[in-house]
């Protein structure tokens, strides 16, 4: 029985048959790192007008800035020259429906508690603010002045910038 992974490997063989090294450095040409959700509806290169070699892309569930994201950003900045960080969450994120109960359910099922937090949230914009704050306050990152956060609308493809200070007081 042919699996989806078999199909991906076949596609890679077709790709490799015509592959020509792009002749670009591992250092992103635009000196930017993009942290985003792993959601399959986000085509980041198309949405941001990026080409191969323009950026580092770091993706995880929710686009949350975790310790591992800080690790990747630190390497991106200190070893590979990035200076700007773009954070992208999106509408209709699956983490809006999860809670830390997910970890407890896993522990009951497999007999071991995950050593990671779910990092779910109920307010997408507030979580973008939290992610911006985590980047800006990390002692490991050299460049924290050009950090901006956005919410991608999966229905329209538009980005809406999130004010790090929060919504205006009423």
Q: What's the confidence (pLDDT) of residue 21? A: 87
Q: What's the confidence (pLDDT) of residue 57? A: 98
pTM of structure: 0.92
Does position 169 have pLDDT exceeding 70, yes or no? no
Residue 127's closest CA among 68, 84, 65?
65
Mean pLDDT of the chain: 95
Q: What token pair was written down for 158?
A: 């538009």
Average pLDDT, integer, range 138-143: 97
Q: Evaluate whether 68 touches 60 at the Cβ level (below 8 Å).
A: yes
Average pLDDT, integer, range 118-142: 96
pLDDT digits (tens, 9 = 90+) for 83-119: 999 999 999 999 998 988 999 999 999 999 999 999 9
The continuous run of DSSP H or E covering 162 comes out as strand 159-162
User: Distance of CA 32 to CAs 73, 142, 167, Å?
Assistant: 10, 13, 26
Q: What's the confidence (pLDDT) of residue 74? A: 98
- Cα 87 to Cα 33: distance, rounded to the nearest angstrom: 9
pLDDT above 90 covers a percentage of the chain that reads 88
Does position 65 have pLDDT exceeding 80, yes or no? yes
The continuous run of DSSP H or E covering 149 comes out as strand 147-152
Q: Evaluate whether 151 touches 129 at the Cβ level (below 8 Å).
A: no
Q: Evaluate whether 157 touches 89 at the Cβ level (below 8 Å).
A: no
In eight-state DSSP terms, residue 110 is H
More confident residue, 169 or 138: 138
């Amino acid at each position: 029985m042919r699996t989806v992974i078999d199909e991906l490997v076949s596609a890679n063989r077709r790709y490799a048959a015509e592959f020509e090294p792009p002749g670009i450095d591992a250092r992103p040409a635009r000196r930017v790192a993009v942290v985003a959700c792993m959601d399959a509806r986000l085509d980041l290169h198309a949405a941001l007008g990026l080409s191969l070699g323009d950026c580092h892309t770091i993706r995880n569930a929710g686009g949350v800035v975790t310790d591992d994201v800080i690790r990747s950003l630190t390497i991106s900045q200190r070893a590979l020259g990035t200076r700007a960080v773009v954070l992208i969450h999106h509408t209709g994120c699956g983490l809006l429906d999860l809670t830390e109960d997910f970890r407890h359910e896993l522990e009951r099922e497999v007999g071991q508690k995950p050593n990671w937090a779910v990092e779910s949230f109920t307010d997408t914009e507030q979580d973008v603010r939290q992610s911006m704050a985590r980047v800006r306050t990390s002692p490991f990152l050299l460049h924290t002045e050009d950090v901006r956060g956005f919410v991608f609308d999966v229905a329209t493809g538009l980005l809406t910038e999130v004010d790090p200070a929060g919504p205006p007081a009423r």
